[in-house]
Structure 1
Amino acid sequence: MTEQLGLPKEILACLFDLDGVITKTAVVHAAAWQQTFDEFLHRRDGEGFRPFTDADYNDHVDGRPRADGVRAFLASRGIELPEGSPDDPPDSPTVQGLGNRKNNLLLEMIRSGGVEAYDGTLRYVEAVRASGLRTAVVSSSTNCRDILRAVGAESLFEVRIDGVVAAERRLPGKPKPDTFLAAARDLGADASQAAVFEDALAGMDAGRSGHFGYVVGVDRVGQGAALRAHGADIVVRDLAELGESA
């Protein structure tokens, strides 16, 4: 049955990223990060500040836990900030404060614009489940459960390893493979029996370093070559292509 899904026959479990794979929220995340960092850089450097770019998002932020993304981007600009605490207000000049500012903006954007799922992904996940394979969602987002509920997809996934669960279990986020490995274990599968579905370069790195059985890169923004370079076994524009090509 796995061959009909475009997967190797050894695969028993499918591990799906949320933003950019299941839901159309990656672009909202990118917009929230851009506004957050541009406001910060403008305050710091004035009118001559260098704006946050799509490349910055892909290279330093996409797929990572929120605070890790803040640290990685600031380090790329040679900027160091105090860590702060998780309850820092969103205008605090700290790593946690910037992260909270981004999250507030993200939730405002979601409330005003709503959330949509990729229909091709939902159909594919339903086919995966009909074939008897196990399913999990693996996301660095602390809003994962609410977003899945908003698109009516929570029941499609047996296991959820998100930012909340990762913090409870003290699992390092992507590009480390630990969250994906935890999801596979919770589903009773070895890494070699699990397929990872990701759109972020950090997710590709996690799939490669975790030695998963198959890594599917989902190219929503024209970075197919980069996804392959970071470990994708196959790159598709939509998961519907996997079933069509089988």
Structure 2
Amino acid sequence: MPEDVNIPDLHRATGVLFDLDGVLTPTAEVHMRAWQKVFDEVFARWGIAEPYTDADYYAYVDGKKRYDGVASLLRSRNVEIPWGEVTDPPEAETVCGVGNRKNDAFAAALRSEGIAPYPGSLALLESLRDASVPMGVVSSSKNAGEVLASAGIRDFFRIVVDGLVAERDHLASKPAPDMFLEGARMLGVNPASAVAVEDAVAGVASAASAGYSIVIGVDRGAGADILRAAGATLIVDDLSRLLEIA
């Protein structure tokens, strides 16, 4: 059940911008398994005693660009390594190397298992499309294009701001407002009259600081209180809840 009951009618919004992983598709679970695998190996090899946990994912990794997540997590263990280059091989002992190792693990899992959108998310996308509401994706993932295509939902969205766009245009990682501001600009909407939908604490904070009038937090495990403290104006447990007003 949702934590809040005052559900806005998204069909009246000037635009709706969605995060991808954990909001539209259950790829957050694939990301979590990939991070767990990589950090378990890294911690064992480097002799880091405090184990990596799901709580670390939500606190340091979730919603951030890949390399920023690596650096943030390692910093939590008082570990600093060279940043390296985006072209570093996965075995490199650099932030980029660790990030690329995780990306390889994620890509392998995605291609072997495939992905489908959450049923409630797909139902909402279909309803908003039928109402001609402009929609976009704002995702820190560089794999967003592949995930959208694999899930069969790319055509719902007029614009996609992902990790590749962020890197190309030097957009700061969530929780900075940059990515959600760019999403609104590309979609041609004012954040003050638009809606953002996020499941990550960093993403909620990004949308809130970008000035979105409604920031919907989808609680897939981060915690309703934490999402609300980050700036969510409404908490739901599934996007199907947003159809109840229609």
TM-score normalised by L of structure 2 = 0.93
2:69 equivalent to 1:59: no
What is the SS of the residue equivalent to 1:184?
A: helix
1:1-246 equivalences under 5 Å are 6-7=8-9, 11-45=13-47, 49-221=49-221, 223-245=223-245
Cα-to-partner distance string for 1:43-74 (whole Å, 9 max, x where unaligned): 0117xx22111110001000100000001101
TM-aligned CA deviation for residue 6 of structure 1: 2.6
Cα-to-partner distance string for 1:143-197 (whole Å, 9 max, x where unaligned): 1111111111000000000011111211112111111111111111111011110
TM-aligned CA deviation for residue 129 of structure 1: 2.1
Q: Kindly tell me: are residues 222 and 84 of structure 1, through their superposed partners in 2, closer, same or farther at Cα, counting changes over 3 Å?
A: closer
State how many pairs are aligned.
240
Does the CA contact (< 8 Å) of 1:23 and 1:117 recur in 2? yes
Unpaired runs of 5+ residues, structure 1, are: none
**Greater CA drift, 231-240 or 111-120:** 111-120
Q: Kindly tell me: are residues 9 and 154 of structure 1, through their superposed partners in 2, closer, same or farther at Cα, counting changes over 3 Å?
A: closer
Question: Which residue of structure 1 lines up, in the alignment, with residue 4 of structure 2?
Answer: none
**C-alpha separation between the residues in 1 aligned to 2:224 and 2:113?**
28
Which residue type is aligned with residue 153 of structure 1?
Answer: I
Does the CA contact (< 8 Å) of 1:64 and 1:202 recur in 2? yes
Does the CA contact (< 8 Å) of 1:6 and 1:243 recur in 2? no
TM-aligned CA deviation for residue 34 of structure 1: 1.1
Does the CA contact (< 8 Å) of 1:11 and 1:213 recur in 2? no
Which residue type is aligned with residue 128 of structure 2?
Answer: V
Does the CA contact (< 8 Å) of 1:7 and 1:214 recur in 2? no
Which residue type is aligned with residue 194 of structure 2?
Answer: A
TM-aligned CA deviation for residue 222 of structure 1: 6.0
Cα-to-partner distance string for 1:101-138 (whole Å, 9 max, x where unaligned): 00000011112221121111111112122223210011
Aligned-pair identity (%):
43
Let me know the Cα RMSD of the aligned residues.
1.6
**C-alpha separation between the residues in 1 aligned to 2:101 and 2:93?**
10
Which residue type is aligned with residue 137 of structure 1?
Answer: V
**Greater CA drift, 14-23 or 82-91:** 82-91
What is the SS of the residue equivalent to 1:70?
A: helix
**C-alpha separation between the residues in 2 aligned to 1:86 and 1:222?**
29
Cα-to-partner distance string for 1:72-117 (whole Å, 9 max, x where unaligned): 1011111000011111111111000000000000011112221121
Does the CA contact (< 8 Å) of 2:16 and 2:194 recur in 1? yes
Does the CA contact (< 8 Å) of 1:8 and 1:214 recur in 2? no
Q: Kindly tell me: are residues 216 and 33 of structure 1, through their superposed partners in 2, closer, same or farther at Cα, counting changes over 3 Å?
A: same
Unpaired runs of 5+ residues, structure 2, are: 1-6
**C-alpha separation between the residues in 2 aligned to 1:194 and 1:54?**
31
Which residue type is aligned with residue 217 of structure 2?
Answer: G
